[in-house]
Structure 1
Amino acid sequence: MRVRRPSVLAAITAATALVATTAAAPSAPAAIERQHSTDARVLERYAADTWRSFEAMTVPTTGLPADNIAGNLDPATRSGFTSPTNIGAYLWSTAAARDIGLIGRREARARMAQTIGSIGDLERHEDSGMFYNWYDPVTGEKLRTFPESGDPIKPFLSSVDNGWLATGLLLAARAEPSLARKADRIREDMNFGCFYNPLENAPAGQIRGGFWDEDPLEAAAVKGTYCGGADVWFTGHHYGAFNTEPRIASYLGITAGQIPARHYFGTYRTFPNDNCDWSWTETRAVGSWAEHQGVRVFEGALPYRGMQIVPTWGGSMFEALMVPLFVPEETWGPRSWGVNHPLYVRGQIEHGMQEADYGYWGFSPSNNPAGGYREYGVDQLGMDGPGYTSDQQRTSVDQPYEGCPGREGSPAPTSYGDGVVTPHASFLALRYARDAALENLVNIRDDFDAYGPGGFYDAVDVGTGTVSKRYLSLDQGMVMAALGNALAGDDMRTYVSRGAMETTLRPLMSEEIFASKGD
């Protein structure tokens, strides 16, 4: 189904050479200005349509968005559940819609005020101030069964989901000062220290995936408490990978003084490479040891197509690039994030356009065009051995872990199956590869039935042409945040990162040098 095109990277190189050749010509600045104006109009259209999906997903009586809605935007197709992340995404998307000029200040204030009022009425865990993972968007009630399936829900409180709700509350308070008192009161009651285990990879510590406040009867659950009050049942795992979206919860906890600053260095850039203990992971890393804030850190990166890249856990776009929608990591850490973020995008582009030869790129968790929800990514850009894969057939790459028995690897795939791309990944890449992202989006829109009344549908199987015609609050929220930054002067970043976050986190980011580098 795909249309064969020249490599996007080749096109970028050619365009760069053309600009260099014509830079002295008087008409060049005018041509560039016209192109920027054209690009802005395209992005404004995307923003207007994407915002329409939020208007449809949001319940008028509560201001709470559903998790997802059908592509025709019929309110009757709203899901019967929502999450803290979805609610946070609606708050920042409302601010973005106002700043782009899609809605007026009065409407934006009314929408955010209603949502914040509903958040204040939601049941939450008393000792931590954290919110449960699933609520009914119509009534605001905590869910104990999923409406569609009837499957039971064990009341769970997720560290990363609460991180995104807190981000939305922080942004709303800064974007609309008249709401700051109420929004800040809710957010300041959220104690991210309740997820923080100081003994995991001590002395820096790591945060847990979350906890249940009722016994989940799961063998891996760990009973205890990190912030006083009654015992809870923690997930057996911690978030140990550094370049993943849960770092937003770490950033908020560090900024609030609930988690020590040294925790920034407590998660793995890659696992160490000095023995075979980590040979179950993707491949042997390159790098060296350093010390920051009294914490020994392996400054590692994974080799990929002539580059060295600090990986995510699974190899997806949103793990790497959702956080910098709100935190200017590449500015605060020019020798770390500033090198890695563009390389990570380049890795995704090269995989889609050259290695897998799909003709399109942008791999991140999304709806599965074949049904359900699935993680997609670039296997080699993840720390996890199996990783996330980019196609329906789950074609993975078994790289060697040199020097370790049983990890000799196998030949790289000679072909891939039906690749699945999600448009939100291109919007995440917009800052780092603007021309390539815009071109990829145009190609997806033009070559498939991939664009509807609420903007881009969630995912496309570029092999069969099958499109997942639903809109998800999370994915549409990433699109709106990216467009808010692109069209309104980095407003999403400005609201969230100024003040305490900058003074606390910028020194940590600025002192580190990643092992990342291009060819």
Structure 2
Amino acid sequence: MRLRPLAAAAAAAALLLTGATTASAGGSHHDDDLGLTRHDRADLHRWGVDTWASFVAMTDETTGLPADNIDASLDPATRSGYTSPTNIGAYLWSTVSAEELGIIGKREARQRLKQTLTTIATMERHEPSGMFYNWYDEATGAKLVTFPNGETIYPFLSSVDNGWFAAALMVVATAEPSLRRQANALLEPMDFAAFYDANQFGGTKPGLMRGGFWAAPPPQETDPGTVAGSPVFFTKNHYDITNSEPRIASYIGIARGQIPPAHYFATARTFPASCDWAWLEQRPVGVTRTYEGIEVFEGAFTYRGMRIVPTWGGDMFEELMPDLFVPEAEWAPKSWGVNHPLAVRAHIEHGLIEAGYGYWGFSPASDPFANYDVYGVDAIGMNPEGYPSDAEKTNVDAGYEGCRPATNPTPTFKDGVVTPHASFLALPYAPREAVDNLRKIETVLGAYGDGGFYDAVAVRTNTQAKRYLSLDQGMVLGALGNVLGGGILHDSFGTRQVEKVLRPLIGQEEFGAGVVK
């Protein structure tokens, strides 16, 4: 397989952490190139073995579908009773990674993948679009209309969830040639044009991706429309920012010729720097450049001497999960190759310096005090309500220069909530810091069980969310597959055909990100 240049990305991160400017990506890598010691590699592999154990426990023995989550006990009786296309996709790519890492053998991997693909072929999907619904029973594969707690489900088709699922099918089709036909049979009917709104801007530029649609009218307000001639009920929202997880669906739709490539430049790096957008937590800085005939404001937020293209919530999931599949730092060295290391640096400096938690890495995950919540570095997120880094939901607001004053520019942070999967995502960009952070979470906090790291931990009270989520465990094994497994997800997803379309598209852009001199 072709080896991806994670080493160059790590070198760029090291330079940025010392205040230098970023280096461009290039060259090949293996885990030694990241500066990992034999002890580091042993710990990473051990963490991967235990993480895989959680997937084995979550996965129904008959259907091969993983549950959404399971308790730390790994007792099958505590499986959630529901799953999603994202969860199923996470299990598929994690199986590929587990084989590549030598956690399971090739025969077991093939058997597991075949079992899951066979079940998926029987699951109800929206036939006109080829897309899958959001919730299924992992024990039967049946589409759910109620959750196990009795809550009503209005079956929905999500662009993002189908994006992660399609990414997994693309990985399987390449990594397991004997299953290529079976994986492609599931992938081929999936038309991401179903989510694309070509008329979003009245034809003045390419449109945006919708959040999704319902096949039957739900109780909330919708935008009625059609998909392949069939009536559907679209969400009112469109995904309008670049640095967020929906870009995986955009990448796939573009790579498969279902969405125009210029759509990539229709999304916003930040919203415009005018008082009309003063609800943002800070005023962006940047210049306007033109790509594919579209003017793009290359805006960035300023944080601790860095200019960073923000995500919506300032979290690691939005920033780095698409990077598990598309080698963004390599293919786009002047945009993602600059931004990813800076975002990781922001998480490190926030956790260790600004907030003083002693730990870092913030991303949506289980709430140690309840069910599920969102966490991030609020200062590098556009959400005015903030993705907080602590359980008390401390919000940062630096004001909007020239339009409104700051309301909380220097808050006091309290019980920080760190999410281990965020450190795994950061491995290519700060390998030393990520391994050290994870070791402390395991040995000092003890937030670790038979299935690997618990999903989240509030560090000052050491309150642990003792359960495992398929999605978050999938990010762990996906990252390890790339770092220790020779770039298995990058190579399996980023085939020459995909690279031919995406690399020149995203590679032409220069973000407004960088170190402030």
Give the TM interval when normalised to the shorter protein.
Answer: over 0.9
Q: In structure 2, what is the equivalent of residue 463 of structure 1?
A: 460
SS of the residue corresponding to residue 150 of structure 1 reads: coil
Q: In structure 1, what is the equivalent of residue 130 of structure 2?
A: 129
Q: In structure 2, what is the equivalent of residue 329 of structure 1?
A: 328
Decide which of 191, 214, 217 is 1:215's aligned counterpart.
217
RMSD: 1.7
Decide which of 482, 485, 509 is 2:482's aligned counterpart.
485
Q: In structure 1, what is the equivalent of residue 263 of structure 2?
A: 263
Q: In structure 1, what is the equivalent of residue 97 of structure 2?
A: 96
CA distance in 1, matches of 2:473, 2:392: 26
Deviation at residue 295 of structure 1 after TM alignment: 1.2
Residue deviations 1:397-448, cap 9 Å, x none? 11111122xx211342342111100100000000000000001001111111
Task: Evaluate the alpha carbon distance shift between residue 182 and residue 517 of structure 1 in structure 2; reply closer, same or farther with a 3 A threshold.
Answer: same
Deviation at residue 33 of structure 1 after TM alignment: 11
Amino acid paired to 2:414: G
Q: In structure 2, what is the equivalent of residue 42 of structure 1?
A: 43
CA distance in 2, matches of 1:179, 1:518: 46
SS of the residue corresponding to residue 231 of structure 1 reads: strand
CA distance in 2, matches of 1:126, 1:423: 38
Residue deviations 1:232-290, cap 9 Å, x none? 111110111100111000000001111000001011100111x2111112211111111
SS of the residue corresponding to residue 277 of structure 1 reads: helix
SS of the residue corresponding to residue 121 of structure 1 reads: coil
Q: In structure 1, what is the equivalent of residue 437 of structure 2?
A: 440
Amino acid paired to 2:500: T
Q: In structure 1, what is the equivalent of residue 229 of structure 2?
A: 229
Task: Evaluate the alpha carbon distance shift between residue 109 and residue 444 of structure 1 in structure 2; reply closer, same or farther with a 3 A threshold.
Answer: same
Q: In structure 2, what is the equivalent of residue 362 of structure 1?
A: 361
Amino acid paired to 1:330: A
CA distance in 2, matches of 1:34, 1:303: 30
Amino acid paired to 1:188: E
Q: In structure 1, what is the equivalent of residue 295 of structure 2?
A: 296
Alignment of 1:338-357 (within 5 A): 338-357=337-356
Q: In structure 2, what is the equivalent of residue 423 of structure 1?
A: 420
Task: Evaluate the alpha carbon distance shift between residue 32 and residue 97 of structure 1 in structure 2; reply closer, same or farther with a 3 A threshold.
Answer: closer
SS of the residue corresponding to residue 334 of structure 1 reads: coil
TM-score, normalised to structure 2's length? Answer: 0.92
Q: In structure 2, what is the equivalent of residue 6 of structure 1?
A: none
Percent identity, aligned pairs only? 56
SS of the residue corresponding to residue 307 of structure 2 reads: strand
- Residues 1:382 and 2:381 aligned together: yes
Q: In structure 1, what is the equivalent of residue 27 of structure 2?
A: none
- Which aligned segments of 4 or more residues in structure 1 are displaced greater than 6 angstroms? 31-34
CA distance in 2, matches of 1:32, 1:287: 34
Deviation at residue 13 of structure 1 after TM alignment: 8.3
Kept in 2, the 8 Å contact 1:215–1:233? The answer is yes
SS of the residue corresponding to residue 468 of structure 2 reads: strand
Kept in 1, the 8 Å contact 2:134–2:157? The answer is yes
Kept in 2, the 8 Å contact 1:133–1:161? The answer is yes
Q: In structure 1, what is the equivalent of residue 407 of structure 2?
A: 410
Deviation at residue 499 of structure 1 after TM alignment: 2.0
Q: Quick one: higher RCO (CA 8 Å, sep 6+), 1 or 2?
A: 2
Alignment of 1:3-402 (within 5 A): 36-147=37-148, 149-201=149-201, 202-219=204-221, 221-225=222-226, 227-273=227-273, 275-402=274-401
CA distance in 1, matches of 2:261, 2:35: 45
SS of the residue corresponding to residue 300 of structure 2 reads: strand
Kept in 2, the 8 Å contact 1:363–1:422? The answer is yes
Kept in 1, the 8 Å contact 2:36–2:432? The answer is no
Residue deviations 1:152-199, cap 9 Å, x none? 000100000000010111111111111111111111100000000012
Amino acid paired to 1:344: A
Deviation at residue 229 of structure 1 after TM alignment: 2.0
Kept in 1, the 8 Å contact 2:394–2:411? The answer is no
Deviation at residue 35 of structure 1 after TM alignment: 5.5
CA distance in 2, matches of 1:34, 1:338: 19
Deviation at residue 362 of structure 1 after TM alignment: 0.5
Residue deviations 1:69-103, cap 9 Å, x none? 01011111111000000000000000101010011
Task: Evaluate the alpha carbon distance shift between residue 218 and residue 411 of structure 1 in structure 2; reply closer, same or farther with a 3 A threshold.
Answer: closer
Task: Evaluate the alpha carbon distance shift between residue 32 and residue 251 of structure 1 in structure 2; reply closer, same or farther with a 3 A threshold.
Answer: closer
Amino acid paired to 2:367: N
Q: In structure 2, what is the equivalent of residue 25 of structure 1?
A: none
SS of the residue corresponding to residue 301 of structure 2 reads: strand
SS of the residue corresponding to residue 146 of structure 1 reads: coil
SS of the residue corresponding to residue 98 of structure 1 reads: helix
CA distance in 2, matches of 1:501, 1:41: 33
Deviation at residue 32 of structure 1 after TM alignment: 9.6
Kept in 2, the 8 Å contact 1:321–1:341? The answer is yes
Task: Evaluate the alpha carbon distance shift between residue 35 and residue 472 of structure 1 in structure 2; reply closer, same or farther with a 3 A threshold.
Answer: closer
Q: Answer with 193-202 or 390-399: which moved more.
A: 193-202
Decide which of 483, 498, 503 is 2:495's aligned counterpart.
498
CA distance in 1, matches of 2:35, 2:136: 47
CA distance in 2, matches of 1:409, 1:231: 46
Task: Evaluate the alpha carbon distance shift between residue 471 and residue 297 of structure 1 in structure 2; reply closer, same or farther with a 3 A threshold.
Answer: same
TM-score, normalised to structure 1's length? Answer: 0.92
Task: Evaluate the alpha carbon distance shift between residue 13 and residue 216 of structure 1 in structure 2; reply closer, same or farther with a 3 A threshold.
Answer: closer
Gaps in structure 2 of 5+ consecutive residues: 1-12, 19-31
Deviation at residue 500 of structure 1 after TM alignment: 2.0
CA distance in 1, matches of 2:388, 2:303: 15
Aligned length: 488
